[in-house]
Each structure stands twice: as C-alpha cells, then as structure tokens.
C-alpha cells in the first residue's frame, strides 16, 4: 500500500487506501467506498477505473511502452516465436526448449476438431461474417469438450489450454475456407504451429503446400504483436464473463464478439476499407481528414487514436516497418501503403489530431500486411482474434486463480421516481 487519499463530502471525511503497482502506477482503492460513504463512483467506459491487479501485461500510454510479463514487445517481436509468447503470457515465463517442444507436441495431439462441428459450420451461408462464425464455433466447442475444468488443478488447466490453443486455429482456417468455398484442410503434424495455421488456411486442394519463410515470419510477428494488451474491451469481456464461472470456451466466444466491433479489433478491416475508399476517390486524403474532424460526421480516421496510448502505439511502429519489409520481400507494390503513409503524415501534422494525441494504432498498418499475405479483408479481425487468444486465456486464468468476485458494476439511476400504476383503460 502507498499512503491514503482523503475524500471529503458534506463535512464527512473518508480515508481511502492508495496502492502502487510494480511500475509505480498509483490507484485509489475504492473497494469500501460505498460501505463507508454510501457513494459510488461514475466512470463511463472505465477511462479512469482499474478493474483488477494483473501481472501479465504492462502498458505506458504516455511513453508508448508495451511489455508481456516484463519483456519488451520489441524484443519479443524480433527474437521470440508466437508459440513461445503463448507459453510466456499464460504461465509467466519463457519456455525452455524442452518445455516448448512438449507444449507443441501436446498441441499437435489435440489439433483434431470433432467432425460434427462441420455440421455447425455448414449451417452458415458463405456470406456470414467470419467473426460471427468463429464466435459460434468457439462456443460450440463446449458441446464437444464438456468437461468442467477445475482451475486450481494445473494439470486440468494445462489440458484445457492445450485443447483450445490446438483447436482454435482449425476453426480460424475453417472460417476462411468456408468463405472461399474450399474443402476443409486438416493441417500437418510435422509443421510448426504458425506454419500449420498458414497451411490449413491456404493449401490448395489440388496442390502441394510450399512454405514461404517471409510469410510465416510476418504472420508469426503479427500474432505476437496482437497477443495481449491488458484490460482492453474484449479482454475485459472475457474476464467479466469468466467471473460468473462460465467456462473458458464460453468466455472466449464472448471476447470474440467484443473484438468484432469497429472501434476495437474490427478497426483493422475498417482501415483497409477506408484506404480503399480513399484510393477509389483518387487518393483524396484531405476529404477524409475533414470528415474525421467534422463533429457532424460519424466518420473516424480508422486505425488512429487509442484509449491508453497518447503517443505512438509501439506495435504500429513495428508493423509499419514490417509492412515495408514484407511488401519489398514479396515484390509487392501496393499503392494502399503509400496512401496510408500519406494519411499518417497529414494527421501527425494536423492540430486536431496532435492536440488530441491521436496516433496510428495497431490496426492502422496490420491490414496492409494481411492483404499482402493473401488474407481477405473480412478475415483481418479473425487474425486479430487468433493473436489475442493467449492473452484472453492468460487473463481469464489469472482472474479465476485470483478468485476475483463476479463482475457487477453499480449505476446512477436517472429514471422516473415512484409513481402509481394507471390501468390501461385510463391511459
């Protein structure tokens, strides 16, 4: 604990503990505020409210810092693999070589999805948005993996985590192949985790799968960069659903739906659609900048701004460089990248954006790489969900192991006060 905060109201004085995080963040602990004062706090969107104490991810929005379990995102993106980061986020330490090999071997053992799940997939029209399909299939996994998981059993939790880390990529690949009208692919146990995901997504029924290191490395890096981001909207959803002791798969399914929103993970799809609209408009970025600043126009510059980062999103910096590298390595000259860079330069010099600390976020450049990798625009947020899976799992597990209470915010009621019932004949 780090001292006390004093709240004075109508002659009463309330002392509230102040706690300090390991990066010296300070928080006023209001756990007992209502019992002491009869008052609650009000904070729409929880812009000033911490929901938990967590040891998983640290962000500093002012300095543009992001660390998973103390490791800088720049180091992990450069030197680690996505499967290592999955292990790190969930169990708190980077795996040894033998731990990583066992983790991957156990995942391979669990990477078959029950054939009956296909009947659920077949029920969707080709036009169904992949995020809706993915959320439904993830929830349906409960029917095929009904075992209640004792969260305090390391062994049971390990098995449940391996199961979802193994099967989720199959569902991701199925959503793409369904949309393309392709037969489902079962993967290859001899491939690496991310390579196998790419194979399940893109192997042609009539041809051999050929690994492209540039593509696999780019995919691996993108998945690392999306893996966790403390208490964002979808992670908070996973936590609050899990706080009722709903199962892991049900909580993840809810998180996928939250991520779908265009203000959150759905922004990566919205960015590409915005850039394509600007391209179709002859590259008229000024028109879209004006729309983004017009309070009467609901349009926002997608991929810009962030609840926490009031500086560059460190992930956006890494993805912007990766976009240059991947397109150059693949020999792709995508005019959309030039439009994105032009838009960024304009916004970074525009008083409206500068005064509001609006910088490119993780979604601004990621779609350009996905597009270069042959991933359709409507699949971009599914790729975000694939990356965020370990973060959701880690945060759900931490919430349950910390035995956090069911999430149930209060409110300030502003409706009608008591009034007598009027029978319908008198209305």
Binding window for ligand SDX (CB under 6 A); candidates: 160-168, 200-208, 239-247, 306-314: 306-314
**Region near ligand SDX per CB under 6 A, out of 119-127, 261-269, 276-284, 401-409:** 261-269
Instruction: For residue 267, state whether it binds ligand SDX (rule: CB under 6 A).
Output: yes
Q: Which residue in 81, 232, 285, 366 binds ligand SDX (CB under 6 A)?
A: 232
Let me know: does 296 contact 351? Beta carbons within 8 Å. no
Distance in Å, CB of 354 to ligand SDX, minimum: 11
Total residues at interface with ligand SDX (CB under 6 A)? 22
363 labelled catalytic: yes
Residue nearest to ligand SDX (CB): 305
The single-letter DSSP state of residue 181 is T
| Of the residues 356, 401, 402, 409, which one makes contact with ligand SDX according to CB under 6 A | 356
Task: Tell me how crowded residue 20 is: count the other CB atoms within 10 A of its CB.
Answer: 12
In this complex, which beta carbon is closest to ligand SDX, that of residue 247 or of residue 265? Answer: 265
Could you say which of 306, 320, 397, 400 contacts ligand SDX (CB under 6 A)?
Answer: 306
Applying CB under 6 A, which of residues 229, 371, 397, 400 lies at the interface with ligand SDX? 229
407 three-class SS: coil
Closest to ligand SDX by CB, 363 vs 378, is: 363
Residue 29 backbone dihedrals phi, psi, to 5 degrees: -80, 110
Site for ligand SDX in 149-178 (CB under 6 A): none
* Backbone torsion region of residue 205, taken as left when φ is above 0, otherwise alpha when ψ lies between -120 and 50, otherwise beta: alpha
Provide the β-strand partners of residue 400: none
Task: Kindly state whether residue 339 participates in binding ligand SDX, applying the rule CB under 6 A.
Answer: no
Q: Residue 307 interacts with ligand SDX (CB under 6 A)?
A: yes
E-strand ranges in 201-257 read none
List the 57-60 sheet strands across, edge first: 57-60, 65-68, 71-72
Pairing of strands 65-68, 71-72: antiparallel
395 scored as a contact of ligand SDX (CB under 6 A): no
Among the options 185, 220, 228, 363, which is catalytic? Answer: 363
Of 129, 264, 306, 313, catalytic: 306
C-beta separation of 315 from 369 below 8 A: no
302 binding ligand SDX? (CB under 6 A): yes
Q: Which two tokens stand for residue 354?
A: 């500068």
Output the DSSP codes for 148-159.
Answer: PP-TT-HHHHHH
The correct pick among 173, 176, 278, 362 for binding ligand SDX (CB under 6 A) is 362
- What is the gyration radius of the CA atoms in the chain, in angstroms? 23
Query: Which tokens sit at 227?
Result: 């893996």
Cα–Cα distance for residue pair 147/259, rounded to 1 Å: 26
Considering the complex, state which of residue 111 and residue 361 has its C-beta at the smaller distance from ligand SDX: 361
- d(CA 261, CA 12) in angstroms, rounded, equals 43
Stretch that binds ligand SDX, among 16-24, 35-43, 263-271, 399-407 (CB under 6 A): 263-271
What does the alpha-carbon distance between residue 205 and residue 177 come to, in Å, rounded to a whole number? 11
29 is an active site residue = no
Active site residues: 306, 363
**Would you tell me which residues interact with ligand SDX (CB under 6 A)?**
45, 229, 232, 263-265, 267, 292, 300-308, 356, 358, 361-363
């Amino acid at each position: 604990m780090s001292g006390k905060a004093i709240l004075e109201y109508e002659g009463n004085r309330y002392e509230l503990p102040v706690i300090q995080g390991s990066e010296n963040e300070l928080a006023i602990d209001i756990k007992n505020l209502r019992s002491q004062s009869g008052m609650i706090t009000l904070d729409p969107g929880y812009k000033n409210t911490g929901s938990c104490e967590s040891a998983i991810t640290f962000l500093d929005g002012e300095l543009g810092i992001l660390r998973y379990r103390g490791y800088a995102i720049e180091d992990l993106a450069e030197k680690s693999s996505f499967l290592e980061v999955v292990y790190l986020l969930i169990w708190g330490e980077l795996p040894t070589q033998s731990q990583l090999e066992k983790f991957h071997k156990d995942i391979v053992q669990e990477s078959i999805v029950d054939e009956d799940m296909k009947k659920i997939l077949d029920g969707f029209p080709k036009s169904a948005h992949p995020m809706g399909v993915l959320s439904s299939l993830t929830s349906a996994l409960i029917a095929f993996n009904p075992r209640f998981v004792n969260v305090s059993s390391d062994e049971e939790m390990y098995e449940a985590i391996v199961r979802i880390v193994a099967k989720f990529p199959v569902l991701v690949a199925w959503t793409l192949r369904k949309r393309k009208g392709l037969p489902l692919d079962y993967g290859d146990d001899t491939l690496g985790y991310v390579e196998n995901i790419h194979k399940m997504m893109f192997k042609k029924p009539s041809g051999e799968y050929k690994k492209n290191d540039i593509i696999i490395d780019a995919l691996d890096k993108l998945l690392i960069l999306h893996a966790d981001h403390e208490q964002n909207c979808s992670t908070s959803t996973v936590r609050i659903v899990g706080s009722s002791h709903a199962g892991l798969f049900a909580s993840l399914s809810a998180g996928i739906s939250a991520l779908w929103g265009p203000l959150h993970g759905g922004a990566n799809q919205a960015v590409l659609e915005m850039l394509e609209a600007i391209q179709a408009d002859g590259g008229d970025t000024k028109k879209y900048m004006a729309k983004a600043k017009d309070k009467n126009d609901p349009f926002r510059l997608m991929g810009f701004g962030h609840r926490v980062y009031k500086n560059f999103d460190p992930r956006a910096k890494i993805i912007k460089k990766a976009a240059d590298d991947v397109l150059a390595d693949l020999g792709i000259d995508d005019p959309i990248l030039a439009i994105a860079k032009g838009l960024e330069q304009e916004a970074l010099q525009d008083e409206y954006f500068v005064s509001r600390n609006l910088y490119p976020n993780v979604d601004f450049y990621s779609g350009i790489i996905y597009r270069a990798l042959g991933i359709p625009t409507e699949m971009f947020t599914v790729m975000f969900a694939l990356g965020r899976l370990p973060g959701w799992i880690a945060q759900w597990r931490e919430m349950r192991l910390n035995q956090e209470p069911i999430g149930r915010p209060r409110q300030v009621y502003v409706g009608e006060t008591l009034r007598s019932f009027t029978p319908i004949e008198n209305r």
